[in-house]
Every structure is written in C-alpha cells, then in structure tokens.
Amino acid sequence: MTGLGRRFGKPALVLLGAALIASYPWLVPNSYLVYAGVLTMMFAGLATSWNLVGGFTGYVSLGHSAFFGLGAYGTGLLITRAGWPWVLSIVAAGLGVGVFAVIVGIAAMRVRGASFVIVSIALVAAVNLLAQGWRSLTGGSVGLRVPTQYGELTRLEAHYLFFYLFMGLLALTLLTWWFMDRSRFGTGLKAIREDEDKAESLGVPTAGFKVVAFALSALFVAFGGGLYAVWFRNLDPIFVFSILIGSYMVLMSLLGGVRYLFGPLLGAAIVAPAGEFFLLRLGETQIHLTAMGLLLGVVVLFMPEGIIPAVAKLFGLRRPPAASIREDTAEQRATLEEAAVQ
C-alpha cells in the first residue's frame, strides 16, 4: 500500500461503510425491513455502549437493561408528567441515569468476576420490581404509553427519522470508544482487564476508572433507551427491564469481538436480524430463545474472542498486537506498563 493509501484508506473505508448503512432504509422494499433496520441500529448502539465497560475492563454486566429501561421510563415520565419536549427529556433522563450509575458503580465495582455478574443481574431485577410495583408513577405492569412526539410524520417516516437518530447515537458512541482506546484512561482500563491488582500497584486509579467507564457506558445506554421510548411509544416493564436485552448486548459484543471498535456493531448486524428472523419464522412458540441460546453457547465455547479474529485467523491475516497482553511479547508489555505508570 502506498503512503497515501495508508493515510486515507481506513477513514475512506469507514466513510464508505457509513454511507452504505445510511442508504439502507432507501434500498429495502418494505416498511417492516425499515423497522428491523431501526431495531438493529438501536442494538448496535447499545452493544457498543456496553463495550465501553465490558470490552475495556472485562467486567461482564448482564444488567445493562436496567439503564436502558431507566432511560426509557425517565424520558417517558418527563414527557407525560412534566410536559417537557422530547429531546430535552432524553438528555435529562440520560444524565440522571448517568448519576445513578455512578452511585451503583461505586458499590458494584467493589466486587470482581462472578460477584459482579450477580450484582448486575440483581440490579435489573430490583429495578424491574420497582417499575412494576410503583403503579401510581409508572403504570405498573400495564406499562407506560408515550404520546406521539413527531406530529405530522407517518409511522414509516418516523422509522426513517429514528434510523438516523440511532445511527447518530451509534456514531457518538463509536467516537467515544475510539478516543478512549487511544487515551491513558483507556490504557488504564485495559490494564484492569488484564490484571487488576498489578494495575493498581502500578498506580492506575482502578476504582475511579472503573466507575467512570461504567457510568459512561450507562449514559449512552440510557440515551438509547430514551430514543426507544419516543420511537416505540409503548413501554412494557417486562421487556425494557428484561435480562434478555442486557444479554443481547453481551452476545453481540462477544460475537463481533470485544477488543475491536466495530466488533459490537458487527455482532448486532448479525444477532438483531437473526433474532427478528427467528421471531418471524418460529414466533408462535418460544423456540427462538433456544436458537439464541445455542448461538451464545457456540460463541462462548468456540470463539470467545469474536468473529473478527476468528475470520482473520482463517485467512491468515491475524495481526500480532491484537492479542491479549498475556500473549504479548515482553517488549510490548513493558511499553504498556510504562504507560500505566505515567
């Protein structure tokens, strides 16, 4: 590759990809496929947000649907109860959830590994219970209806609008990931993933870093939830607070590859349409859950690093620095530890 190609090749490729994705709603023949596109775009954003904490720190949260649901309910309540405009509602609800996530993070990030997963499951169960129990505010298990916020638009036009809104959120999240990946903050988080005790002894402020990453991730997920509330307009507590949504984020990230910028996006592009397909084909029964479970099992057992390295390996394209620090050379490790010390 020439110098020019190396400098502009990658950004050009990303722009081309973005243009292709942006033209999707205009290329498909019917409104159902546009709807499925919005859903896929939403999950791509959620999974990428999840990866801000899951990918960098290695802390697997199965409870991120708590932040999704809180963002959605917060937005819905601000619109219906306080009469706020929807954009303001989404931003305010998202920021509120971000603050909440700081508090939760301080408690939850104290424990590691298995205990952390348990906490994240308990978090979503507790919030779900609250949403269903606090009937006077949330409408209980009946759910919350959000009045339409986009006046003249038809349902299909609203799908177009929200496709691009979700895409914008995804772009923002990807940009955040990209910046974090190159920052000392991101390097510190990766050090936590590889060996938390060592990172701490080298002076990485692990507790603070983890909480910030957790809250940042929750913030973007809550924005996604807010957009969902305005787009879908019918909030069912059992759906928005289900562990299933949280596990979708995990499955998508893992399938694509948690160490890659576009990993979760790739995973979402596979899992979300597959989920819709299973639902359409096998909808009557619950067998689509079985299909999803088998897919997750196969990913965990056979390609825990994701498709990207698996495919690259297949074609012999594997680049050396993509691996975990444990598989790195001593030289690379020294550089990283130096960065962590600084």
Partner 1 sequence: MPSGSLLLQGLALGVLTGGLYALLSSGLSLYFGVMRVVMVAHPAFLFLAAYLTYSLHNKAGLDPLLTILVTVPLFFAAGVAIQRLLIARLAAETMAMMSVLLTFAMALVIEGTLGAVYTGSFRSINPEYATKSLDLFGTQLPYDRLIGFGMAALTLAALFVLLKVTRFGRSLRATIQHPQAARLVGIKTERVTGLGFGVGLATAAVGGAVLAIITPFFPAAHWAWIGKLMAIIVVGGLGSVQGAAIAALLLGVVESLVLVTVDATWATMMFYIFLFLTLLVRPQGFFGGRLAQRF
Residues that bind partner 1 (CB under 8 A): 58, 60, 62, 107-108, 110-115, 117-119, 121-123, 125-126, 129-130, 132-134, 242-243, 247, 250, 254, 285-294, 296-297, 300-301, 304, 326
Smallest gap from Cβ 165 to partner 1, in A, equals 30
Minimum CB distance to partner 1, residue 280 (Å): 16
SS3 at position 2? coil
| Residue 38 or 254 having the CB closest to partner 1 | 254
What are the distances in angstroms from CA 93 to CA 69, 100, 273, 274, 279?
Answer: 11, 10, 29, 31, 31
Residue 175 CB, shortest distance to partner 1, in Å, is 27
Nearer to partner 1, 230 or 299 (CB): 299
- Find the helix packing angle between 206-232 and 65-80, rounded to 10°: 50
Smallest separation, CB 275 to partner 1 (Å):
12
Closer by beta carbon to partner 1, 102 or else 130: 130
Measured at the alpha carbon of residue 136, what is the angle toward residues 135 and 139, in degrees to the nearest 5?
Answer: 50
Angle between the N-to-C axes of helices 243-256 and 31-57, in degrees from 0 to 180, rounded to the nearest 10 = 80
Task: State the nearest-atom distance from the C-beta of 11 to partner 1, in Å.
Answer: 33
Closest by CA position to 267, among listed 284, 285, 249: 249
Which residues lie below 8 Å from residue 120, measured CB to CB, with a gap of 6+?
Answer: 60, 61, 62, 63, 64, 66, 108, 246
Q: Report the residue number, 173 or 247, with the smaller CB distance to partner 1.
A: 247
Locate 327 and state its tokens.
Answer: 């598989």
Our CB check for partner 1 shows the closer of 92 and 291 to be 291
